[in-house]
Chains A and B, each alone.
Chain A
Amino acid sequence: MDAVIDNLPTFLSAFGGTLQLLALSGIGALVLGVIIAAMRISPVASLRAFATVYTEVLRNTPLTLALFFCATLLPYLQFNPGYFPLAVIGLTAYTSPFVAEAVRSGINGVPIGQAEAARSIGLPFGQVLLVIVLPQAVRMVIPPLINVLIALTKNTSVAGAFFVFELFAAGRTLANARGDAVIPILLGVAFFYLLVTVPLGLIAGRIEKKVAVLR
């Protein structure tokens, strides 16, 4: 245990890196995901096609390869804002299709009569979606979205392999330096991840119960 306590400052600053990755790419993925979801159900065929291809390609690409693309091929293309932003871009892009699918499943859950009623009073697509359907979908979308965020929290660990300082990379460095205390250090790393994911899971469960009652 002393191996963890001795290295607490390293753990904390690495945890900070993980939280930053999580916050920035989480927000990015939510925004991008909602846009992709809207494109997938929009009246314009080309937007639907684009969103479908985007979703299919990214959902079927291993995260390691997605991050490799961002960390090496984007700088190759003269786009080089630094490795932290590149990792955020990679995580955002990778997570957004999952957000889009969660949002879509939420929209699916809104009773069909709602949309029909909205259209029958003459609302166009944008308003049907924004004013009537999405607000109702949000309730049901939140639990799966939180699950997506939980997965994102853990996925930030892969970014450590691509020049970013975060919890898992720091854990490996410490574990290597202390060959005699590998297990406590890894448990310490796990603890910090659970510090984020367990509360998120509990919130998801709470909201899910409420939604179940409201339904």
Chain B
Amino acid sequence: MTISVLYDAPGPVARRRSAMTSVVGAVILIALTAWLISTLAAERTTAAGAVLPGLFDSSRWDIFADPVVWQSLGRGALNTLAMAAVAAVLALAIGVLFSFGRTARSRWIRFPVAVLLEFFRGMPVLLMMLFVLLVFSTGTYWAGVTALAVYNGAIIGEALRAGIRSLPAGQREAGLAIGLHPIRTRLIIEFPQAFRQMLPIIIAQLVVLLKDTSLAYIVGYSELLRTGQNLTNFFGNRYNFSFFFIVLAMYLVMNLILSWVARIVSRRTASRTRPAVVDATVTGPTGGRATAGKGSATPD
């Protein structure tokens, strides 16, 4: 059993208190959910006095019996995945290049790469997509892919760099001592370790990338979100919220599956990374080393 080192194993009083908190919390949550559902289900009177059927009224959901609607949404989801997959591969490649550039020995490489990195990290993805589309005339798909790849590549590059820096200096010294070229040392000794250490963060960033494909609406790429909007326009505004809930659920499923994979991967590599206060067992090894650096996923 995992017991956090932050507090003692709960005694009878603490257990009772914890149970009571749980009950109270659950009651509040259930009440809130019930209120939410009943409000959304109730007929709605608009500011102008029109009465609209509730959100769960069958007239708002009847089209979903038609497989054609689902085929269309499925195509949207595939388009989303098609953009995310290619952008993810490119982002990893760009991330690797960035991390090499940023840790290069020559200041003439390091400095321009740092400037470029800051630039790409600081540009909104929306703006970058629009910019690529207008300036490089790439078409919507590649505008989306390029912007996502470059931005996430910058983040992944920083994560990898933090990973390389957090390795004990002995790793590099050992590589050089057996006569390896500095670049080979980096490639076959430092980099694989950094990559493994940063894998959870990299995968979390890939979830961010997958979510961000929804921003490609700005260039008119028909990914999942835009498909849902177009279907709303086709079938009528009555289905606005219905499509919102369906599209949200589809995103959650896709992203949770990816997050789940991320968790499995990070658990597999956990034995190789440092122990931590929160996750470690009481008897775990001590002397954790922080990698808080720049290597955490960002909410973009």
Contact = CB atoms under 8 A, between A and B. Distances in A.
Are A and B close enough to touch in the complex, i.e. CB under 8 Å? yes
B99 interface: no
B93 interface: no
Contact of B296 (A101, A171, A197): A101
Contact of B251 (A60, A78, A111, A157): A60
Contacts of A182: 134
A143 interface: yes
B297 A150 contact: no
Interface in A110-169: 110-116, 119, 124-125, 128-129, 133, 140-141, 143-144, 147-148, 150-155, 157-158, 168
Main secondary structure of the interface of A (DSSP, over half): helix
Interface residues of B, number: 72
B279 interface: yes
Contacts of B44: 76
A112 B277 contact: yes
A201 interface: yes
A141 B292 contact: yes
Nearest to A110: B277
8 contacts: A60-B207, A77-B39, A119-B7, A128-B7, A129-B6, A151-B298, A197-B122, A204-B294
Given A41-B278, A193-B127, A109 B297 contact: no
A148 B25 contact: no
Interface in A196-211: 196-198, 201-202, 204-205, 208, 211
Main secondary structure of the interface of B (DSSP, over half): helix
Contacts of A73: 241, 244
Nearest to B35: A77
A26 B66 CA distance: 44
Given A62-B214, A128-B6, A197-B121, A47 B25 contact: yes
B35 to A, nearest CB: 9
Interface of B: 4-8, 10, 14, 17-18, 21-22, 25-26, 29, 36, 39-40, 44, 118-119, 121-127, 130-131, 134-135, 155, 158, 165, 207, 211-212, 214-215, 217, 225, 241, 244, 247-248, 251-252, 255-256, 259, 275-280, 284, 286-300
A108 B277 CA distance: 5
Nearest to B253: A60
Contacts of A158: 126, 215
A47 B279 CA distance: 17
A124 B293 contact: no
Interface residues of A, number: 82
The 4 closest A-B pairs by CB, nearest first: A109-B290, A197-B122, A46-B22, A140-B292
B124 A201 contact: no
Given A62-B212, A133-B277, A154 B248 contact: no
B250 to A, nearest CB: 10
Interface in A77-107: 77-78, 94-95, 97-98, 101-102, 104-107
A190 B131 CA distance: 10
| Residue with the greatest number of chain A CB neighbours at <10 A, chosen from B25, B118, B275, B298 | B298
A61 B252 contact: yes
A64 interface: yes
A193 B255 CA distance: 28
Contacts of A119: 5-8
A186 B126 CA distance: 11
| Residue with the greatest number of chain A CB neighbours at <10 A, chosen from B6, B275, B300 | B6
